[in-house]
Structure 1
């Protein structure tokens, strides 16, 4: 997220009623790395900001109103999983702030002004009662946004020193056009559920694919031929590690030269006929290049943080951190479509 967008998103977090909340001392320490400290108030506000993003944009996907009690992975609830990530974020933030001088990273006047303006906007937009629920004091809001800006600046500085690059050979993406002959069919026209076809029906699908493959051998244009046959040619870029549209058709297409056809390729759910149209899709290759570069930079960035964590004594006061409970306070983004300003709101339960 861009720095300005991030600050705007933080600017209007609001909270409504809260029940059953344990006491949280604003100045209690949650994370300490050397002389750098993250207080409970700062940790709570950062957690509530993240909570708002999930509850507003992903709640329906993750399980609705009771999403935080649903199982995520490894036997953890979504609350436990997200809070574990957030705690690691807070550790990283403390370390990044501690090492700012190593990279000559400083906040500019523009950074400070944006942070101050956003904190003032947040302060004006919310009642004292609501701010108290999310530890939204002006000091905490500024501190959270400051740590986030430092994090962004430090990441840029760290990856800038990483000696990583991506070659054309690593990133090259081929292009294919393909037609898929699906082995499944709608079980009932009134719903979208699918059922596997019978062996006889599957045989018919294969025969149809084989007939299409034979005709495609002499067709001048693969896509036009597909349309003539009452089907549709789809496009896909790929390399040897791709799994879409299926790993089977990728494996077959990856062996071919430009302009060559695969013949009928079977998978568990469908069979395919594909034509390789390019051995180097320039646009897709450039996108892949940037993706691989980001992956390598991220790996280096994490390596640096891991090294710092080994060198620095980091103390976590879990008793204080555990008092931040997502199930007792709901925080959601406020609809600001009429004003055009990105702000958040919340409601308790």
Structure 2
């Protein structure tokens, strides 16, 4: 189940919008219906503003990280024969529908906007209008009504998430969350030559490496310190925490280390596709990692409860999407970015 993409309190959102200027051009009929959730209609104006906020973040922060332009990023094939734009827009619309659905159940949990939150939303919407030109507001459907509605949905959804996750059992025993720790060495089958190119060892070289690894294993089982032995050979002893279900750094390494019964025990050499491992069990109960796992388990329980409620509400509510209307919002044809001190109004329309 896809969770809400935005989980910010209203004041944080208000601050973001206050400092944000979006650029672009183009107009749409904001009164058209994109989807209906129960008896409530999602207008194209509200959907467009929410979608453009997400688009602005992708184009400003992620496109360059991917080494591509925004237009190229949106046109790239993602999965299931969908472009990155189609996949992203599908997720955005689902998130928006979820926010409407969650807000419709707010009264069940006595969740409502406080006077302070209502004023913060009103101020943020007005500030957005002041900070952006009429052309920009047309592109992103940034009239105060649309901005306020999106902020309202986001704020209620954030409060509802806390309410919907309440009551989850937060007691997790050490036994259920136990994490062990180990030190390990990897004798890799891959080397790097002087030119920086990776080279895979030949079969004879792998056999020689196996002999070397076995000698190390014998020394460690004899009581020598792993870091000392590794350093003398130009190797680095790595550390990891794990349980029986872990798969990183290697599932065969994990299985061998998990089979050790006493702290200080050393595995036999472990031959894998990538190289040869040796591990030393350093703790049967790593306190920090175990406590972190407990938090993870509680978070997962909360997520499951949240998702279960949302799924049930979806089954009980008729949701109808107007795909032709939703297609009128194009990321590839209409760029939208966040204006910062390092950027200018450089987004352009391809219409």
TM-score for both structures, normalised by structure 2? 0.89
Moved over 6 A (4+): 343-346
Q: Distance in 2 between matches of 1:286 and 1:2?
A: 26
Q: Distance in 1 between matches of 2:33 and 2:245?
A: 46
CA positional deviation for 1:34: 2.4
Matches within 5 A, 1:131-280: 131-163=137-169, 165-186=171-192, 188-191=193-196, 193-257=197-261, 258-280=263-285
Matched, 1:8 2:15: yes
Q: Distance in 2 between matches of 1:215 and 1:345?
A: 65
Q: Distance in 2 between matches of 1:25 and 1:136?
A: 13
CA positional deviation for 1:165: 4.9
3-state secondary structure, aligned to 2:94: helix
CA positional deviation for 1:118: 2.5
CA RMSD of aligned residues (A): 2.2
Query: Do 1:24 and 1:320's aligned partners in 2 also have CA atoms closer than 8 Å?
Result: no
Query: Do 1:52 and 1:344's aligned partners in 2 also have CA atoms closer than 8 Å?
Result: no
Q: Distance in 1 between matches of 2:207 and 2:336?
A: 54
Matched, 1:113 2:119: yes
Q: Distance in 2 between matches of 1:13 and 1:44?
A: 17
3-state secondary structure, aligned to 2:57: helix
Query: Do 1:10 and 1:344's aligned partners in 2 also have CA atoms closer than 8 Å?
Result: no
Cα distance change, pair 345–225 in 1 and its aligned pair in 2 (3 A)? farther
Cα distance change, pair 162–127 in 1 and its aligned pair in 2 (3 A)? same
Query: Do 2:74 and 2:331's aligned partners in 1 also have CA atoms closer than 8 Å?
Result: yes
3-state secondary structure, aligned to 2:239: strand
3-state secondary structure, aligned to 1:329: coil
Matched, 1:99 2:105: yes
Cα distance change, pair 259–195 in 1 and its aligned pair in 2 (3 A)? same
Cα distance change, pair 155–17 in 1 and its aligned pair in 2 (3 A)? closer
Question: How many pairs align?
Answer: 339
Q: Distance in 1 between matches of 2:346 and 2:168?
A: 41
Q: Distance in 1 between matches of 2:80 and 2:170?
A: 33
Cα distance change, pair 190–135 in 1 and its aligned pair in 2 (3 A)? farther
Q: Distance in 2 between matches of 1:249 and 1:344?
A: 51
Q: Structure 1: which 5+ residue stretches go unaligned?
A: 338-342
3-state secondary structure, aligned to 2:268: strand
Q: Structure 2: which 5+ residue stretches go unaligned?
A: 1-6
Query: Do 1:176 and 1:235's aligned partners in 2 also have CA atoms closer than 8 Å?
Result: yes
3-state secondary structure, aligned to 1:105: coil
Which of 255-264 and 9-18 deviates more? 9-18
TM-score for both structures, normalised by structure 1? 0.90
